[in-house]
Structure formats: C-alpha cells, structure tokens
Amino acid sequence: MFLIFPLSELWRTLFTSIIGVLTLVGIMVRPFRWNEAQIAMGGAAVLLLLGLIRPGDAALTLLRDWNTFLFFLGMMALSALSETAGLFDWLAVQAARMAGASAARLFLHVFLLGMLITMIFSNDATALILTPVVYVLVTRLRLPVLPYLFACTFIADTASFLLPISNPINIIVMSRFPLALPTFLRLLLLPSLVVIAINLGVFFLLYRRQLKGSFNIKHMPTLSQAVKHGPYFRYTLWVLAGVAPSYVLASAFQFPLSMVAMAGAVLLFAGALCWRRTTLVDTCKGISWSIFGFIAGMFVVVRAIEDTGLTVKLGNLLLHLSGGTSFGAVLAGTVGSALGTNLINNVPMAVVMNSALVSVQHAAPAIRNGFVAATIFGCDLGPNITTVGSLATIIWLLILRQRDVDVSGLDYFKVGVVVTPLMLLAGACTIWLCL
Amino acid sequence: MKILCCLDGTNAEPVGRAARMFAGPQPLIIGLLTVMDVGPRRDIDRTRERFWRPPMHRQPVIQEMLGAEKEAAGDILQAGLERLPEAESLLRQGHPELEIVNAAAEWKADVILICSRAEYGAPPNIGPRSVGHVARFVLDHAPCPVLLVRPPAGEQFPIKG
C-alpha cells in the first residue's frame, strides 16, 4: 500500500518497527492463546500488505534459508520414524539394564542417553520423544518421576551445542555465519562438556535424597517388548549408523546438513512403508508444520526490520557493550541471547541476533567468533531458565501458585533459575578461553 | 471412625502401623488413597508447546503413560491392602494435594493419615523443609484432623541449640 503512496524513510522505519515490536510482543504474551505461527505470519502479512517489505525480498529471504527449513523437516521426520521403530524405548530399557537396579546410576544413564540423542537427533527428540519414554520407564520402576523428567528436559538444551546438528538454532545461526566443524568444536565442545558436567553435578546434589534408592528389575520391560518390529528396528539402526557419521562429514565439508537429514528420513520412511510400520499421514502427524509458518514469518519480519537499520543498531550496541574485547563479546552475546530467548523464544531470538551480528562481521576474528559462538550458546542454553516455556508461561504458573496449588512447572523454573546462570557464566568463560 | 490413609508408594508400612494405633472399641473404616499425579503430564505438555507440538492426549504414547501410572497405582494400593486387608481402595487422578483434601471431604473422613514426604531410602530428614508440599497443603486445607506420620529419627536427637 505504501509502495503506491511512498512514505519517507522515517515513517517506514516507524511503521516497520511498530509491527516488528508488536509481533515480538505478541509471541511473548500470546493474546487469546493464539499460536505463535499465526502471530509471526500475521506480522509478515501486514508488512507485505503495507508494502513495508517487497514480496520479492521476502521470497528471496525464505529461499536463502532453504537449508534451515529442510533441516527442520528432515530432523523431525527422522525422530518420528525412529520412534516408530521403538528405538528410544529400546535405548531407555538398555540404560535401565545397565544401571544395575540403582536409581542414581539410572539417572546418570538418562543424562548420558539424552546427551547422545540430542547430539544425533537434536534437542527436539530428547525433549519430546525421550521424555515420555523415560516417564513410562521410571513409573513402571516405581521411582520418583520428577528428577528423571528434569534430566531429560534440561539435557535437551544443555547438550544442544555438542555438534552443529544438535539444535536447529545452530543451523539458523550458521546459515549466515558459517563455522567450519573444527572451529565449531574448538569453540563449543569444551564449553558444552563443562555445562553438562555442571548440570549433572547440581542435579545430583538437588535430588540426592530421591536418588538414594534402587528399583526392582522385575518391573523392567524386556528389550524385545521395546522393539516394535524387529526387521524395521534393525533397518533403522543401519540407517542411523550411516546418518550419524554423514552429519559429521557434511559439517566438516560444509555440505548442507538438511540433505543428510532428509536422505535419512526418506530411507527410514521407505523402510517403514515397506514393513507397513507407518503411513504418509502418520508420519506427517509427527511433524510440527506450524513451525515452518513461524520461522517463515519471523524471517520476513526480521528482514523488514533489518532493512530499516534497527538490527544493525542492536549489533552496534552489543559491540559497544563488549568494549571491543573478545571476553566482552562472549559475555554480551551470551547474556543478550539468553535473556532474549526467555522473552520471545529461541528461534526468533536467533533470527534477530543473526541480523544484529551483521555489524560485527568486520570486527576482529576473535570478537566475531566470540559473538557467533555466544549467540549459539545463549540461544541453545538460555531456554533452560524457563524450561516449561516462555516468561509468560512462568507468570501464569505463578498466578496458579497463588491459589496454593503446587505447580510442578514452577519447580522447573526454580531449578532453571539456580542452575542456568551458573552454566551460562561457566560456559561463556570457557568459550572465551577457547577463542 | 473413618481414617483416610494417603499412600505415595513408599509409605505403606508406616501408614499401616499408624492406622492400627486407632484400633479400639469403635469400628474403624479405613480408606487407602493414592493419586495419579497429572503434574508431570502437564509439564510434558508445556514442553511440547515450547516445541510447537500438540498436547500429549493426541499422541499414542499417552496410553502407555496412563497404563504405567495405573499399574503403579494398583501396586501402591496392593501394598497398602497387604497391611490393612479390610481397607477400602480409593484411586484418584489430579493434583495429589487437592485430591487428598477433596477426597477427605467427600468420603467424610474423621482423620487423615499422611507422611511428611515420600522417602526413597535416604536417612530421615528433620528440620525445616522436612514436610513436603503435599503434606503441607493437606495440613493447611484439610477438612478434618490430620495425623502427620514422620519417620523415626531418634538417632538425630538431642537437637543442639
């Protein structure tokens, strides 16, 4: 509309900023329980209708990020099809078998299993698929449920930067600021191990009383009960045995990771169809389609804001806050990203930071890498503060708590508030040392 | 006299012993209550929401979760019945603290027996925070007298000032 009635740059900036801010606030508070995807796409639609972003620019922005969209699709399909094979149930039973009836050892194994699954399938699979599997297992073993659920939920985020594929956020950030695999590992592997160790140590301390006991192995399901279909299960193992090293090789050679995820998903889907373990409809049900609308909406909204120069100003502010030092860069990037993820969710925050970090592209390599690594780190680990959702969810839980009802969701928040700042600080210092 | 015994999977023995203390000339009606806690399922739903997924009740795994919960609740009640064979079993689903006080009111309990918190093999804890949130809520909201069954902790005495 404004393309027909041209506006001055000042008005365009003002309108774009208002729509951008309203979109982000909408995602934060979700009025009338609207879906975030509807809000993000609504914001993008308004910008397009008002001519504040050209349709060609919007389309180009989305096409440029094809790797992110396909990675999300491949990753979700891969997890859903592996779940159909009973892989996660089988791994959980193995973890319990190897625990030798000790509740504490099972807790450690759940942590390690969550780490492994996050590393290969991404945090999504750990938080969404492993958690209910572990819930069923520990309920059957008559163990206290909460410590194990906390372990799954937290490790999903804590282990999110072990590899580039461990969290789709890493793909979003690296689509604009590519890091070679050796650089990624140099910057983030040690911090990852440090924060995992802190997470594990603090949790063992917090839940030491609940983890004293043992469980009766007679309640444990057998491995054959976990496997839903032998031949498809074995086929899944073979496919994943190929996918895992392919991810590493693809990262090393900067080959699009989405291609590996999609190839793995197609192979698993073909096998599942062949053995009649799934249908197209069932597989589609395992995928969150709204996330594509959400990401697409956010990409367009942030692109429009970027055109006004506002995100560059945010980048300059971060650069200023860093004081031009690598330590300042890591600290400003970590704190900014972590706070933002708890306000507007980590996907929009990663997109905003991607746009803001354009200003640091020409800074010294240590500062640039510090910001990029800190953005990945802050956006991946930050959600552990308000694990059960955004700050808005926490406020809602606090209201419920005022009615004297004990809301376990708040327990997550209490633990997150204690353990996450500690992990963020230790991780940021380690990133700085690795720069 | 109607006694409502709250079972949490770790306390059949101390609750059974405490209920026996009420034996006397008046007839005793004992109810064994266990609650399938919906809190963890809601937490999983909140996590799903964060990852843009529909709630659990639309997923096949929910049947497995409910099955495991019912199996565990059945075992908890069975452990109580082994100690108090004449008791009546009550199984509810919801927030444990709310379900206990509501069940006590509906069942017209004269007394509620509840342990201070579930014990998983650690030595008994005395002092601040030794009463868990469920027992604390029941003490605050019960429609009848409450007997708080604490684990024996004689070896931790005398308490030094």
- pLDDT tens string, chain B, 161 residues long: the values are 999 999 999 999 999 999 999 988 888 999 999 999 998 888 888 888 878 787 876 677 888 899 999 999 999 999 999 999 999 999 999 999 999 999 999 999 999 999 999 888 788 878 888 899 899 999 999 999 999 999 888 888 888 76
Q: What is the pLDDT of residue B125?
A: 78
pLDDT of A398 higher than 70:
no
Q: Is B106 exposed, middle or buried (0-12, 13-18, 19+ CB in 10 A)?
A: exposed
Degrees, nearest 5: CA angle A315-A320-A324: 110
CB pair distance less than 8 Å for A136 and B98: no
Is B161 part of any domain?
no
Q: In total, how many domains does chain B have?
A: 1
> Given B43, B61, B71, which is nearest A409 (Cβ)?
B43
Q: Which of A75, A145, A342, A414 to mutate to test the interface with B (most CBs of B within 10 A)?
A: A145
**d(Cα A147, Cα A208) in Å, to the nearest integer?**
10
**CATH code at B116?**
3.40.50.620
CB pair distance less than 8 Å for A408 and B48: no
pLDDT tens profile A179-233: 999 999 999 999 999 999 999 999 999 999 889 888 888 888 888 888 888 999 9
Q: Closest residue of B to A411, CA-based? A: B43
Mean pLDDT of chain A: 89
Mind telling me how many Å the CA of A363 is from chain B's nearest CA? 34
Other residues' Cβ atoms within 10 Å of the Cβ of residue A395: 11
pLDDT tens profile A113-144: 999 999 999 998 998 899 999 999 999 999 99
Task: Identify the top-confidence range among A33-37, A38-42, A105-109.
Answer: A105-109
Between chain A and chain B, the number of residue pairs with CB atoms below 8 A apart is 108
Q: What is the pLDDT of residue A408?
A: 58
pLDDT of A407 higher than 60:
no
> Given A132, A140, A383, which is nearest B44 (Cβ)?
A132
- How much is the average pLDDT of A80-89? 92
Is B37 part of any domain?
yes
Task: Provide the residue range defining the domain that includes B49.
Answer: 2-156
Is B150 part of any domain?
yes
**Alpha carbon A194 to chain centroid distance?**
19
CB pair distance less than 8 Å for A136 and B68: yes
Q: 3-state DSSP: chain B helix, strand, coil percent, rounded to 5?
A: 45, 20, 35
Question: A72 contacts in B (CB within 8 Å)?
Answer: none
> Given B47, B121, B140, which is nearest A153 (Cβ)?
B47
Task: Kindly state the tokens that stand for B62.
Answer: 């929910």
- How much is the average pLDDT of A296-325? 90
Is B11 part of any domain?
yes
Is B106 part of any domain?
yes
Q: Which of B47, B99, B102 to mutate to test the interface with A (most CBs of A within 10 A)?
A: B47
Q: What's phi and psi for B108, nearest 5 deg?
A: 55, 50
Task: Kindly state the tokens that stand for B154.
Answer: 């004689």
Other residues' Cβ atoms within 10 Å of the Cβ of residue A49: 10
What is the pLDDT confidence band of residue A403, given thresholds at 50, 70 and 90?
A: low
Question: B72 contacts in A (CB within 8 Å)?
Answer: 139-140, 142
Mind telling me how many Å the CA of A383 is from chain B's nearest CA? 10
What is the pLDDT confidence band of residue A429, given thresholds at 50, 70 and 90?
A: very high
Is B70 part of any domain?
yes
Q: What is the pLDDT of residue A388?
A: 58
More confident residue, A228 or A235: A235
Is B105 part of any domain?
yes
Instruction: Tell which residue, A159, A163, A157, has the closest CA to residue A181.
Output: A163
pLDDT of A311 higher than 90:
no
